[in-house]
A and B are shown apart, each in its own frame.
Chain A
Amino acid sequence: EANAVIIPQCSHIPPGRRGCLMETTVSPNKEELVIRPLHSGDIYTSFQFRTLWETDFTRENKVSHYRLFPKSLGQVISKFSVRELHISFTQGYWRTMQWGQPYLPSPPGAELWVWFQDSLTDVDGTWKELTNVLSGIFCASLNFIDSTNTVQPSASFKPLGIGNVTDHQIVCTENLTPWKKLLPCGSKAGLAVLLKSEKLFHSSFHSQAVHIRPVCKDDQCKTTSWELRQTLNVVFDLHNSGQGKNEWSLFKMFSRTLTEACPVASSSKIYIDITDNSQGEQFELSPATPLLSQAVVLGDRRTFSVYDLTQQITFGTICNVLKLPVTYSAHAGDMLRPLLHAERYVAGYGLQTGEIHTLMYNNHPYRSFPVLLLDSVPWYLRLYIHTLTVTSKGKDNKPSYIHYQPSKDRVRPHLLEMLVQLPPNSVTEVTLQFERALLKWTEYTPDPNHGFYVGSSVISSLVPSIVAMDTNNSRERPLFSSFFPSKEESSYFVRVYTEPLLVNLPTPDFSMPYNVICLTCTVVAVGYGSLYNLLTRSFQIEEPSPGLAKRIANIIRKMRGVPPL
């Protein structure tokens, strides 16, 4: 176990290569914490908890033994024929320009994507039921997810999922508590002790997720087991929280110390990324650890210091005083140039039309690569699909694949998927004009003047890795490793989420419906009616018609030949 090559993160799952975990020994439970000092001076901490469950639904119909796997989720899987389930709650936007790529990308708000078994027939019904169940489990209003904000991508989420939903949802302690309850040790022991909500929500970025998927048990992949992976990514802004300019420790970050390892965990480790700190110029770890580990993460070769919590010696002495005195580098304010980067905004003004701009940056100096852009836009923005333009370097860039599903009012959103080739060192701009719909007055949210959210667009791509890009020969490297460019790591999978948009729709003044109704009725009934009457009729004076007696008298007078009265 100790000698196994450790892949600290498994987020870069290449498409078509499912089951990247191959377990020789059964290790049902693993927990990890990766700490990475970021370029901007912030600290990125990523928790991962993995639980394996060796059950195959395809063979056994009834399952009653869950072991460490949470029963609530296990029942969900079996009842709704779920093949894969990914749910994330995120508060904040990952700042790629300052922080680089995250280990596990997630959009602001809540996202749920599920891959159902082929045997399932009523996907829509199951989906609706599933969202309701999950909103109960995670104390989140996922039940607002319905067909109007759900899409079925044709290509984007192929390797892992099928239904995709983004929704605006504020994450708070209520979501964290049920998430913690799914852990085998709860928050009683192990790394989970550090998860104190007060500190976790005093941060720049907070994202928690649950991933359930089948993984292979052996080399031939004859049998599979279920993997539950719970992740929590937090970026601490040390500048902001004023926790000393130059020093932090586990206690300062989490205001907790590690007391004991989770007894059921087979592995419990803390990794600290020291790649940028090989000489100890930025920070030093105290106490130092002899254990080092190398891994290729997100196309970059990183070095980690490893602290193994299962060993009592390490545990007792080290973790409580783990300190990283960080000094700010002079370039902390500079922007990074991640290879793939995207942003999105609404252009124009006024409440009638607008234009969505999506910018995709390829910062690779000499290689172009294709990206898959997935845009899901609510129906109340009426997209003019004929205005779709894709330009790179001032030239038209024709997407090689476009899948567009128009929206249906109040039923389903627009879905736009495109495969675009990004030329090297360029910005590709996708623009699309839209018109803002006037909603029915009951369809407005309670805070209509806040605006309406449009979920992030998703950009998935295989990006050439930094390792392969490295043409700098001066760096110290074994000769045998550098003659041919490393092939298997030549590209890695990246998913980038853009900002969500806040769009104002034409909003009536709800503060005085009564006045408006009264005024309108008055104008129509009194003003319009009478004016119309006056304008279209001509009025003449008419003698009042004589009474019955007078008429009879007149008849008699007529017969008598006397002029009438």
Chain B
Amino acid sequence: MGLLSDPNRRRALISLLTRLNTPICIVCYMAGVAWFMGLAFEPFTLRTYMSENAMGSTMVEERFPAGERALATGREFSAHKKRTGGMPVEWLMKTMQAKGLEVFTQRFSRTLPFPDENKERYMVRGTNVYGILRAPRAPRTEALVLSAPCSPGDNNNQAVGLLLGLAEYFRNQIYWAKDIIFLVNEHDLIGMQAWLEGYHHTNTTGTFCHSRGGSIQAALSLELSSDIITSLDLVLEGLNGQLPNLDLANLFYAFCQKIGVLCTIQGKLQRNDWDSVSGYSHAVQTMMLMVMKQASGRPWGDHGLFLRYHIEAATIKGVNSFRQYKTDATTIGRLLEGMYRKLNNLLERLHQSYFFYLMPSLSHFVSIGYYMPAFGLLAVILLLRALDLWVQLSTPPQRTEDGVTDIEPVRGVLSLLTPLVISHLTGVALYMLPIRFQEMAVEHFPVSETEAVVLTAIAVYTAGLALPHNTHRLLSGEGTEQGWRVLKLVAVLYLAVLLGCTALINFSLGFILALTLVPVAAFVTPHVPKVLSAFILVILSPACTLLFSVFFFQELQEMPISFQDGWLLFLSVISQGILDHSLYGSLVYPLITLLVYPCWLLFWNILFWN
């Protein structure tokens, strides 16, 4: 700071920063991207390790024997499911009771704001069934949850079977210190949401739960659709990009190693050839998949809604591919038994390990301390541009000290206010209108409700570009040089704060937005070639970012799609985003519409200043 207290040196530093502003910005951008790509390079990452002592040193034995019986129960479940054409509530209750659990049901109903075409549902009505295994000599203060969804079709029957098998086996053990809740939820996330709200008595869409097991310490959600599997996939990403404590992932990994089950994350196996190009690109793919999923802000498994209640949760998915190596239900049961026994040993909630991390493979992680610099390097560009603008703004008055300065600031502030207000109103319209006007749109155009919502959103988004954002043309005919500089200064700082806050909560979203919006913010002036810049600006706008992300995500999953399909997927992603917001309270849609999009409009406005 001594450097800045000395006016001479300060002047020199500032002049250096302003003179070399553009090259520094470019270097920073490159460095940020390079840093981010380096995160997947194995020597730069840390090996995962168990931080929680209660889970690390204690030995447990896995003895679950009844995999075949569990599968038979699963088949029985599927038969009853077919017969009742939905959740076989009666059968489940009877079976759970026979296994010695306290069984309760919870009914819920929910009407979606518009029909969900992906899952073909609009008015949802369902029942959750849960059985509580009471721990002997425990005062009902703590609980663990194991859940399996009752999915339509032939999916997840084995998961329910294994859940019931484990319930029966767990019931006969004496060592439980926490109640264990076995939950079969209908209508996947909607049912889970209703159950969690019922359990915690928050604003509910269903009835309240009748009995409880105290505060839930951890939860696992099981998805299993075949009798034998080749690998188990761990899903961590939850609502709003929240992740469970890393120790939960470590626990899963440790048991997979111990029992000898192939385990994957993002569906990607771990590879040992990190020094080869293909090994590195594999790690990058895995990490990028995690980044994309986290940035989407939606729960990627039934566990995703637990995280809001400060319950560490993950989904374990059985994958059956064409590999030779097969694992049977008994082994999965033993794996789950081991995990629950260790969770049962916990004295405190999982809190020792990281909550903010990225995983380039299941055995390696990147902690917040390592990935934040990548974002910081991008964000510093905004600050440098702001400094440059500030210097430019503060120097001219010294040149012309003849009364012009007196009027300028007032006009500046006023002309600043109009675009800010207008762009934010556009944002509010984008947030509100799609759902409000779906009926009207359906009446006047030959579209379905879902299409109406998405198309209204796109229409409002596009209309926002055409709006006159300025009043200064009406007042004085020509926007002043200083006017756009002030506006850009505000917009750049606004963007910096916005991205900074987003990255703290959901790094992936913040980083992806920074990747596209920072160049826009850096280069836009009214003096660059209009048509070309407008094109670039549109390409880098939030909606196009989403479109590219859709294609990129498909590419990462090794399922490339045509432009036609990609466009349809893009539309459905928008509708899913709106649904996620209204059903589960995902914050991505309001963040984009109410803050990011208006901010981007400010830069659009600067481009067309004159």
- Nearest CB of chain B from residue A427's CB, rounded to whole Å: 10
- Nearest CB of chain B from residue A432's CB, rounded to whole Å: 13
- Do A240 and B172 touch (CB < 8 A)? yes
| Residues of A participating in the B interface, judged by any CB pair closer than 8 Å | 91-93, 95, 97-98, 108-109, 201-206, 237, 239-242, 332-335, 343, 345-351, 355, 357, 447-451, 453, 499-504, 507, 511, 526, 530-531, 533-534, 539-541
Task: Give the CA-CA distance A496 to B172 in the complex, in Å.
Answer: 28
What are some 15 contacts across the A-B interface (CB < 8 A)?
A: A91-B139, A92-B136, A95-B134, A109-B139, A242-B172, A332-B97, A333-B97, A343-B211, A345-B201, A349-B309, A350-B310, A351-B310, A499-B141, A501-B141, A533-B1
Contact of A333 among B100, B172, B202, B214 (CB under 8 A): B100
- Do B134 and A333 touch (CB < 8 A)? no
> B214 — which chain A residues lie within 8 A by C-beta?
345, 499, 501-502
Contact of A504 among B134, B136, B174, B310 (CB under 8 A): B310
B112 within 8 A of A: no
B564 within 8 A of A: no
- Do A355 and B201 touch (CB < 8 A)? yes
Contacts A333-B98, A347-B202, A450-B347 given; does A203 touch B137 at CB 8 Å: yes
> B351 — which chain A residues lie within 8 A by C-beta?
449, 507
Task: Give the CA-CA distance A500 to B481 in the complex, in Å.
Answer: 68
> B139 — which chain A residues lie within 8 A by C-beta?
91-93, 108-109, 499-500
- Do B102 and A349 touch (CB < 8 A)? no
Which 8 A-B pairs rank lowest in CB-CB distance, beginning with the nearest?
Answer: A333-B97, A530-B1, A108-B139, A347-B201, A449-B348, A92-B137, A502-B141, A91-B137
- Do B136 and A357 touch (CB < 8 A)? no
Q: Which of B2-10, B373-381, B550-558 contacts A (4 or more CB under 8 A)?
A: B2-10
- Nearest CB of chain A from residue B377's CB, rounded to whole Å: 20
Contact of B136 among A203, A334, A526 (CB under 8 A): A203
Contact with A along B167-209 (1 / 0, CB 8 A): 0000111100000000000000000000000001110000000
- Nearest CB of chain A from residue B182's CB, rounded to whole Å: 14
B308 within 8 A of A: yes
Residue of A nearest to B5 (CB): A539
> B141 — which chain A residues lie within 8 A by C-beta?
451, 453, 499-502
Residue of B nearest to A204 (CB): B136
- Do A499 and B347 touch (CB < 8 A)? no
Contact of B174 among A202, A332, A507 (CB under 8 A): A202
> B215 — which chain A residues lie within 8 A by C-beta?
346, 451, 502-504
> A451 — which chain B residues lie within 8 A by C-beta?
141, 215, 349
Task: Give the CA-CA distance A206 to B215 in the complex, in Å.
Answer: 22
> A502 — which chain B residues lie within 8 A by C-beta?
141-142, 214-215
Residue of B nearest to A90 (CB): B139
- Do B202 and A240 touch (CB < 8 A)? no
Contacts A447-B348, A539-B6 given; does A204 touch B310 at CB 8 Å: no
- Do A540 and B7 touch (CB < 8 A)? yes
- Do B172 and A239 touch (CB < 8 A)? yes
- Do B138 and A92 touch (CB < 8 A)? yes
- Nearest CB of chain A from residue B426's CB, rounded to whole Å: 33
> B10 — which chain A residues lie within 8 A by C-beta?
539
> B6 — which chain A residues lie within 8 A by C-beta?
539
Residue of A nearest to B201 (CB): A347
- Do B102 and A97 touch (CB < 8 A)? yes
- Do B102 and A335 touch (CB < 8 A)? yes
> A530 — which chain B residues lie within 8 A by C-beta?
1, 4-5
Using C-beta atoms within 8 Å of the partner chain, give the interface range for chain B. Answer: 35 or more
Residue of B nearest to A538 (CB): B7
- Do A450 and B349 touch (CB < 8 A)? yes
Task: Give the CA-CA distance A109 to B97 in the complex, in Å.
Answer: 29
Contact of B100 among A201, A239, A350, A503 (CB under 8 A): A239
B75 within 8 A of A: no
B103 within 8 A of A: yes
- Do A343 and B212 touch (CB < 8 A)? yes
Task: Give the CA-CA distance A430 to B139 in the complex, in Å.
Answer: 21
B257 within 8 A of A: no
- Nearest CB of chain A from residue B239's CB, rounded to whole Å: 12
> B278 — which chain A residues lie within 8 A by C-beta?
none
Residue of A nearest to B51 (CB): A511
Q: Which of B204-262 touch A at CB < 8 Å?
A: 211-212, 214-215
Residue of A nearest to B141 (CB): A502
Contact of A348 among B98, B200, B348 (CB under 8 A): B200
B107 within 8 A of A: no
Contact with A along B113-140 (1 / 0, CB 8 A): 0000000000000000000001011111
| Residues of B participating in the A interface, judged by any CB pair closer than 8 Å | 1, 4-8, 10, 96-98, 100-103, 134, 136-142, 171-174, 200-202, 211-212, 214-215, 308-310, 347-349, 351-352
> A201 — which chain B residues lie within 8 A by C-beta?
137
Residue of B nearest to A350 (CB): B310
> A507 — which chain B residues lie within 8 A by C-beta?
351
- Nearest CB of chain A from residue B470's CB, rounded to whole Å: 32
Task: Give the CA-CA distance A504 to B215 in the complex, in Å.
Answer: 9
> A531 — which chain B residues lie within 8 A by C-beta?
1
Contacts A333-B103, A349-B308, A539-B10 given; does A204 touch B134 at CB 8 Å: yes
Task: Give the CA-CA distance A201 to B138 in the complex, in Å.
Answer: 12
> B171 — which chain A residues lie within 8 A by C-beta?
239-240
> B103 — which chain A residues lie within 8 A by C-beta?
333
Contact of A237 among B97, B136, B201 (CB under 8 A): B136
> B137 — which chain A residues lie within 8 A by C-beta?
91-92, 201, 203-206
- Nearest CB of chain A from residue B109's CB, rounded to whole Å: 19
- Do B1 and A349 touch (CB < 8 A)? no
- Nearest CB of chain B from residue A357's CB, rounded to whole Å: 6
- Nearest CB of chain B from residue A190's CB, rounded to whole Å: 26
Task: Give the CA-CA distance A315 to B579 in the complex, in Å.
Answer: 73
Task: Give the CA-CA distance A448 to B201 in the complex, in Å.
Answer: 25
- Do A348 and B202 touch (CB < 8 A)? yes
Contacts A206-B137, A502-B141, A539-B7 given; does A348 touch B201 at CB 8 Å: yes
Contact of A240 among B97, B102, B136, B212 (CB under 8 A): B136
- Nearest CB of chain B from residue A526's CB, rounded to whole Å: 7
Residue of A nearest to B214 (CB): A502
- Do B136 and A349 touch (CB < 8 A)? no
> B201 — which chain A residues lie within 8 A by C-beta?
345, 347-348, 355, 357
Task: Give the CA-CA distance A498 to B462 in the complex, in Å.
Answer: 59
Residue of B nearest to A431 (CB): B201
- Do B140 and A349 touch (CB < 8 A)? no
Contacts A347-B200, A499-B140, A502-B142 given; does A541 touch B352 at CB 8 Å: no
> B308 — which chain A residues lie within 8 A by C-beta?
349
Residue of A nearest to B346 (CB): A450
- Nearest CB of chain B from residue A408's CB, rounded to whole Å: 26
- Nearest CB of chain B from residue A144's CB, rounded to whole Å: 17
Task: Give the CA-CA distance A35 to B202 in the complex, in Å.
Answer: 43
Residue of B nearest to A449 (CB): B348
- Do B102 and A98 touch (CB < 8 A)? yes
- Nearest CB of chain A from residue B598's CB, rounded to whole Å: 29
- Having A345-B212, A449-B348, A499-B140, one finds 17 other A-B pairs with CB under 8 Å, namely A93-B140, A108-B140, A204-B136, A333-B101, A333-B103, A335-B102, A345-B201, A346-B215, A347-B201, A348-B202, A350-B310, A447-B347, A450-B348, A451-B215, A499-B141, A502-B141, A534-B4
- Do A541 and B7 touch (CB < 8 A)? yes
Residue of B nearest to A454 (CB): B141
Residue of B nearest to A503 (CB): B215
Task: Give the CA-CA distance A66 to B310 in the complex, in Å.
Answer: 56
- Do B8 and A541 touch (CB < 8 A)? yes
> B100 — which chain A residues lie within 8 A by C-beta?
239, 333
Task: Give the CA-CA distance A481 to B102 in the complex, in Å.
Answer: 39
Task: Give the CA-CA distance A451 to B142 in the complex, in Å.
Answer: 10
Contact of B5 among A202, A334, A346, A533 (CB under 8 A): A533
Task: Give the CA-CA distance A530 to B139 in the complex, in Å.
Answer: 55
Task: Give the CA-CA distance A93 to B137 in the complex, in Å.
Answer: 7
- Nearest CB of chain A from residue B173's CB, rounded to whole Å: 8
- Nearest CB of chain B from residue A207's CB, rounded to whole Å: 10
Task: Give the CA-CA distance A453 to B101 in the complex, in Å.
Answer: 26
> B1 — which chain A residues lie within 8 A by C-beta?
526, 530-531, 533-534
